[in-house]
Each structure stands twice: as structure tokens, then as C-alpha cells.
Structure 1
Amino acid sequence: MFKIRSFVFLFLLATGTAAAQQSVYNLHTRLKNESDSQKINTYLEIGKLYAADQPDSAVHYCNLAMRLAEKLNDRHSEGVLLLELGRINIRHHHEELARRFINEALSIFRNLREPEGIAQAYDELGLVDGQQQNINAATKEMDRAMKFYVDSHDSEGVMNTYNGLGKVFEEKGDTEKALTYYLRTLVQYEHRKQKPEAYFILLDRIGHIYLKKGDRKMALKYLEEGIRESNIPSERDTQINLITEEGKIYEQEGQKTKALAYYKQALAEAKKYNKPEEQAQALISIAGVLKKENSGQSLNDLKSALKIANGLNEPRLEAAIYAALADVYRQEKDYKEAIAALEENHRLLDSLLGADTTKDISAIDSSYALESSREKIGNLQQVSKEEKKELDLSLVILGMAVVALVLFFLYLRKVKRLNKELKAANQVKDTLFSVIGHDLKGPAGSAAQLFALMETEDFTEEELKLIISDLRKQTEASFELLQTLFEWGRAQLQGIKVQPETLDTKSIVNKNINLLARQAALKNISVVDHVPAGAGIIGDLNHFDFIVRNLLSNAIKFTYENGTIELSAEKKDAGKVVFMVKDTGTGISAEQQQQFLTSDLQVSYGTKGEKGSGLGLNLIKEFIVANNGSIWLESEQGKGTTFYFSFPAA
């Protein structure tokens, strides 16, 4: 039964990824013509598409939506987004973080007096308790949700709660209770003419519970019901999945002829409706049945499946095929080929494990960052009411900065002790200490002096507002530098990992222009976007976003008041897209230009004394090289600078 579940997981992941990519592209296209309030829902939809296998991206898009919701003071949307962030963390087993998001959503919905939102929050809290095996608490939370749904005659909510209770008891291992709740959910669906995807997933769950109970007849009954109900084009993926799974059951029972017939039916359906992932999965299943009687045909089927998987760039699917190939080669005593196939299988699985771990860590970091940000906003709102709380919060923030510096110091000492012989590690250490010692000392010292004045002097309310504004600027500058410092240090110590994908550069450029609009407005700088729609590239989303944001920020920093900044892109014959960021600023001397091309730029100052550490440009160079691009510049002192960089064209 474990093999069946693993197969279904790989199958759904492979088919879901391609569909999700197409949907994400369509949603990004839709964003171009939407208002801020409409973009909130679109970002949320994109986050839901990424939730299963790319939690870091899911959290990122929810964060974008959250910023817009806060900007518009849309408390309902904030609650919905917090609920979705909770669901993402539940899915990836970060229960405590999920609980914090859901409780905050619950608080918002209570203040807004929205019963539906309250019920949904109780549902999700029940799932958190269920994952932590706290069954009594889980059932209490879901009973509360059920009461709201029943009172409001919300049949959809009732179904979700029954389904959630089924999951809770299935997690616990109580198959009888789980089956009871799943069957109650199923009854609700039977009255509907159009069955949603959740209905077919439910049939799959019921079928597997009957398999656990050893009742294969009932398991087949529910799988066949899913096949009958899904016999419509929009549910074709689901039907092929259910057909294949039914074949797996017959294969386990030793009825190979029936199993082979179902697999061939799934293959025919996949070919008919042009579903390459499903074709590969069906070929794997057919090869498994034939390997004893016709190993040659089995190998041919697996090689055909591998060719399809290579074209789709699906490493999970490739890993499964190599495992099956190794099994057939071992049966034929061709141990050389068997070992080669197993080594490739292990390589692919190791790469997937590393990628999944990185995404998971990134999602946790993003979730914690959002949660911390929301806590700070709440505290700052209280600060505006009470002067003492304002001082306490500022001291806490300063204390956090000191702790961060101490942690960096301890970490770098450890790196130095363990890697004295590595020149690169020493250079990282020297650079980090230089930036911390010089660039952070000033803002921290200024903040301390302002705190001392606030303690000893009596200020008017207007004077206090000016001091608080100055403190905020000092804190933001230090935080921005720490972020860049962290990214650069991690890249130096761990290497730069690229996750290439097709990017819509126009939307990324627009996002960063909007992000830095206030900074440009303070100097009355015009930012002109000449980047054409459709200038697609292949690259890492986070890297390209960082490059555009930092080059634009630098251009604003070094451009005189009332100046102009232009951004453009042009596709070249060599399969590259060349981007340009041009300013009318201070310019860069010939000596500094040569220094940029051969090594690293040092600390410099903007037209209003804005200070830069030089780390941003260093990291930009490394990101561009890692993405198979190049960077160069043209500049004349007093007349401005133009940065050019290239990425592979989509």
C-alpha cells in the first residue's frame, strides 16, 4: 500500500506542476491591468498554486498580498492571507508557526464579526492540533467550526469540517472514525451535478482506508466510482490517476492481466489527451508488470518513459524510472547497468532533498519575517499612544541588533577557527567585520544618542515625531544593510544556488519601480520604464529581483535632484536579453570602473550623503555570473552612469 501512495504522490506532483506553471503565468499576465485591491486576490491565487511543492514561493506571494492589504487597510484580506499562511505551514508541518498565523486571523475575524472566517480559523486550528496528536483539542475546535457552519446553513463549510475530522482521525490511526467522517462528507457531494477536485481526492482517501482494512473490494468500488464521475475533459487527469491506481490494486492481488489492461487504458487516455507525465507513469507501471515475462519490452518501456521525463525536466519522475531500470537490470544480472541506474537514482533524490530542504527553510524564514514584521507594526501603533512604550520598544530593537551583531561575531570566530587555511573564508570575515564596524556603528551610535536625549530632555510632541522619524530611518538603514550582509555572507560561505525558471521581467521591473517610488520622489527623480512586455528570460526569480532592485536603488542614490533614471531591455541575436539602468548622477571615475571590472567597489556616498557598503554590487556580479549572464558599465564623472547586464533569453 505504501508503494501505491508513493506512486499517487509522484503522479499528482508531476501533473500538478505543469498545470500550476501555466496558471501562474496566466495570473502574472492578469496582474498587469489590475488595481491594488484586485492584485491581493491574484497574489493569493498564485500562492495557493505554489503551496504544495514550493512553500517559499507561496509565502513570498502571500507577503506581497499582505503588504497591499495593509496599505489599503483591508482587514478582511489580512485575515484571509493569515489563514492561508497558516495552511501553508500546516501542510509543511510547521505547526507552532501555523498556530500563530491562524490565531491572529481568528482575532481579526472576531473583531470584524465574520462567522465564516471564524469557523475557517477553528477548522485550521483543529488540523494543527490533529497533526500534534492532540485529538481532544482538535475535535473541540472543529465542533466550534461546525456550529458556525450549521447556524449559517453553510453546506460547503460542513463538508470541510467533516473532511478535516477525517484527516485528524486518519493521522491518529483510527481508521473507523476517519472513514465515518469521510463518508459523511461524501454524502454531501452526491447531490451535486458538478463534482470538484476535492471530491475525487476524497474517493482516493476512502479507497485507501478500505485498503488498510484489507477490504480490496470496497476500495475498488470507490476508485471505480471516481473513474465514472470524472469522465469529463476537465477532470481527465483525475480519471487517468484513478485508472492507474485501480491497476495497482489488481497487480498487488496477482491479477497481472487485469492490471496490464488498466495500465494500457491509462496510457491510451494519456496519449489521446496529450498528457506526457501520465504517459511516463503508465509506461513505468506496464514495465513493472512485464519485467518477469518480457524484460526486453520492460526496458524499452522504461527508456521511453525516461525520454519523456527528460523532456519535461521532472527529476522526481526520472528518479522513479532509474529505480525501475535498476530493478530490471538486476533481474537480468546486468549488474554494471543496474549500479549505474541506481547511482543516477540516488543523485536525483539527493538533489531533490537539498532543493526541498532549501525551499522549506526559505519558507520558514519568510514566514517568521512576516510574523516579526506584523508584531513590530502592532508595537509601533501602541508606541504612538504612550511615550514610555515607544522608548521600551526602541531599546528592544536596539537590543535585537546587538544580539544579531554578537551572533555574527561568534559565527565568524567559529569559521576562522575551523577554516584558517582557507583564504576565501578569511576574506569573508574581514569584509563582514569592516562593514559591521564602520557602517553599522554610525547608525547605532546616532540611535543611542537620540535615546539619551529623549530620556533627559523635555520635547514637544512635534519634536518627538521628528526624533522618532530619524530613529526609524537609522533602523531601516541598519536593517537593509544587515539583509544585504546576510545574503552576501551566505553566498560566499554556501555558494550561490540557482533555481532557473521563465521570468516575466516587465512585472518584476514594475514591482521594484513601485517599491522605490517614494525614495525617488524624495529627490524628485523621474524613473522611466522602457522595458518591453514579453522580454522573458531564464533565470532565478530571487536573483533577478535583487539585481533590479539594487541597481535601481543605487541609481536613485547617486542621481542628483530633479534627475532622470531609465530602464530598458533588448533581445540580442546571441540568445541574450540585455538590460540597461541609466542615470544622470555623479558618475564613476575611470579608476573605479576598472576596479569594478577586476575586483570590488568600496564604500561610497550618494548625492545626499546616502552610504553604500559596496556589498550589493558585489552580490549582483555573482548572481549574474551564476545565471550565465554578464555585466558591464559606461560612465563619465558628473554626467551619469549606465549599467548593462544580460540574462539568457526565454
Structure 2
Amino acid sequence: MTKIKLFATSILFFLSFLLFSQERQDVGSLMDLAIKAKVKKFKENVNFNKAQMFFKQGNWDSTLVYSMKEISNTTNKELTDYCHYFRGISFKEKKLLNESKKEFNEISNDFQFFYKVKMKLGEIALGQNEFKNALQYFQEIEKFPNTVSYDYKRSNVLHNIGLCYLHLKEFDKAEEYLFKGAKLHEVEKDTLSLIGSYMDIATLYYEQYKDNQAIPYFEKGYHLSKKVKSFAFKKTATLNMAVVEENRKNFPLALAYRKEYETWKDSLNDQNKVWAIADLEKKFAVKQKQKEVNILEAENKIKIAERNSLLFSSVLLLILFGTGVYFYRQKIKNNKIILAQKEELDKLNATKDKLFSIVSHDLRSSVNALKTSNSKLIESLETKNYTELDVQLHNNSAIANGAYNLLDNLLNWALLQTKQTYFFQESLHLATIVQHVEYNYKPLMINRNISFENRVSTTDYVFADMDSLKIIIRNILDNAIKFTKDNGNISIYTRDSDDDFCYLVVEDTGLGMSASTQEELLKKTALLSKKKNDDTIGTGLGMQLCKSMIYKNGGRLEIESEENVGTKIIIVLQKFKNHG
């Protein structure tokens, strides 16, 4: 059930980081009461009073301004700690996590609510995927005695510890803490948090491919989302159920969930529009006030400008003179750049012309070969020479496949040159990718009686774009088959390598190549290789495409070959180190 597993993983961060962070100060909380006491005690500290007021209102920009003013003007460590806390929360709400972390680290250990600082640092570490650091912070908070009142929910701490273990693939501990957190959420009747718990428990089981245990929790999350007003949770829970039913092959029910998902999605968009309009109205009011201020400032500036106009005129003349000299030198420099670009453009045009010439020649040859073969097919059919007919049909198939591969490579090459390809590097299981490509070529190798062996290690994971990696392996394997005679051998395997790169080797017993040919193939150039034999050598476009895509994936290409013995094409790719 791959679809559900991927979506469940994608919502993991959404639920864990947004749902279980309590940023705003509840009225009557311990910190709220402490802040009120500080306001009474330090009435003369206007900046602190404004900072705490905007902090309670959730006006993060104003909080940052006045808290910074207070920090600059006071030597009171107690007030400084509160201001750094206000700034840390404000940056966190504005998604500036590194700045938030710096502010929290400025707070002294004597701060009355230092445990809240650890809680926020844990949430930031969780949001930045620093799971071991986050786990340390939350475990410190977990050790606090239950007999003392604190400004946080213990259920959230337990849940976040479970999330850290889930990301670290320690599933037994993750299960223990996620269930502890869920039970406390049930006791607290915190419906939103409980929905998040159910979703993350489902994710836990999907990570372990325990579908039967995961699906009931998706269903619980869905039914519970009916009771809340949050369109985001309704949308997420409904989409999960749609994917669950699709994988169960219950398509009518899946369609019903999809329609419900679109309803919640539209509702969420409408809500966002209302908030956006309110924000625009607020900004408009601020701009109107700012215009009035700007008019007064402009009047003052005009008076100053009249007194200093003579000085400014002199400075302006000097600037114009300097600018003229600069632009003259810049023109000379630009002319040199344009000349170099023209030379490069000429080379690119030459490459393009050569490409069109070779591709058109190959396509014309393929079409002409098909025409000739079809004529022979008609003759064989009329004479009922079925043996010859079978040979010619296989020949036609080979010609068509060659033309298709040429056009496919041409399309991918053009997309790569115009930077229109979708490129996303991720963790890929190398053995699985090779098996996908191998499947398409097995019939061709069996038909030519070519022995094939796949010894790719099942433990290797590479960091690459999946589509481009398939194109690379497909072209290399296609070349190996093309240059290997009937009854030959082809093998694909991985070599022992260092910690940074994985070496994928495609070895054949084909024609091989000279040292000069190897050197030419490995050049980082856009020019295509020359044709030597129309029966075996193609445009060279496939190899150029492979090199470009390997370089784009952060790898390199190596060749080991001997004429009339065989060739080893080595694809060197980055390893994915963090795969658990």
C-alpha cells in the first residue's frame, strides 16, 4: 500500500510540529501571572510593557521591535530573559527557526520558566529534523516530577518523544510513547491533539508495513475529525481514507471520500481568503497612517533640500563624471563578453546542426530499412515462407525499437538542454531500479541468446533523481546489448566502495573500444561521437545524455575496456547515508 505510506509520512511533520506546539500564552497560566507581576513591578519600563502586550496579542513583529528596545536599554537580567523568550516565540511563529533558537539560547538557566525554553528548543529541533537533539530536550522535561505544576501538557511531551523515536526508526519505543500521549489526550478531551495522535500511530504502523493495524487509526482520525472545526484536519483525514479505500480496491467509497476531500479543501481555501482580506484591510489602514507621516516628513525634507541643493548639485556632477567613466569601461568589458558568447553560440549551433544531421540520417535509415523489410515481408507472405517471415518480423521489431530509443533520447536530451526536466534527488533502492530496467530488456537478450546476470547489492541506496537514473541505466544496458554478439554475456553488479559513492558496473563481452575512443567518450563536451558502422554505432546521443544526467546527479562516469574483449561501464553515484 505504497500510496498511503507515502502520504502518511508526509503528514507526520505537519501534525507533530504544528499540533503539539503551544505558542500563545493562555490567560491565567503560570507565565501569564508572572508577566503581570513584572508589569506592576517595572511600570517605568515602557518597552517591556509594550513587548508583553503585543506578545499576548500575537503581534509578533511589534513584539520583536519593543523587546529589542528593552534589551538594548536595560541591565535587568530578569527582564532581559523575558524579552529573549518573547523574541524566541515570535521568530518561531514567523518560521524563522534558526533565529528563534539563538534567542532561546540567550536565556539564562536562572529563568523561572527555563523548562519552557527546553520545550521550545525541542520543538525547533523536531521541526529541523534534528531528532536526537529534540529527544534529549523532551526527555529532560519528561523527568520533571508530576507533583509540580508546569506550563505545558505532559501529553504533548510524551507524544513528541514518540515522534522522535519514530523518525529514528526505534519503533517499539515510538509505539510506547505515542500510546501514552494518546491516552492523556483522551483524558484531557483534547480532540485536535487526539486526531494527530491517531494519524501518527497509523504512520508508525505503516512504517513497519503493518497495514491492518494502521488503517483502524486512520479511520479513528477520520471519524474524530468530524467533530472539530479545523478544515485542515478534515481535509487530511478524508484524503487518507480515500487512499486507504483505493488500495483496498473499493473505488466507489474512495470516490466518495475524494469528493468530501474536495469539499473541505474548498472550505479551507475560503477561510484563508477571509483571513487574507482581513490582513489586507489591516495593512491598508497602516499604510494610510504611514502616508500622513510621510507627508510631514516630505515637507521637512523639502526645506532641507532647498538649503543643500548647491552641495547636492556639485556632488551630482562628480557622480555623473564617475558614472561616465565607469560605463565606458563597462562597455569595453561587455564587448569582450559578447564576443566570447558569440563564439560559444557558434559552437552550440554547430552541435545542433550536427545533431539534426545525424538524427535525421538515422531516422531516414530506419524508415528506409522498414520499407525494404516490409517489401520482403509481403513476398514471404505470398510465398508462405514462414521461416523468413519470422526473421523479418523480428528484424522490423529491432528497427522500430532502435528508432523509438533514438527519439526518446532526443526528447530527453532536448528537455535537459532547455532545463525543462523535473529533477528531484531522493533515496533510491538501487537493486529495485535495476530490476525495473532489466525487465524491459530480458526478452531481447533471450532472443539473442545473451546470458545476463544481476548481482546488484540489495543494501545499496543512492541519492539521485529516479527518472534520470532509469534513463542512464537503460541507455548503458542498451549499448551493452547492441555491442554484444549473440551467445555473449552481460552482467550488472556493484563494487565495494567507500562511504560516499556507490559504483554500479555494467560489463559485457562485446566489441570493446580503444583507449582513444574511451578518452573521447569521457570528454565533457556537447559534441556527438562520429559514426563508424551503421550496423552497431548510433548517434552517440544516448551516451552524451547519460553523462549529462550522471553529472547532474553529482556522480561521474568511468570506462574500462579492451578491444575485442569487452567493456565495463562504471556509473559512480552518491550514496544516501541517512537511510535507516
Q: TM-score, normalised by structure 1?
A: 0.38
Q: Which has the higher contact order (CA 8 A, sep 6+)?
A: 2
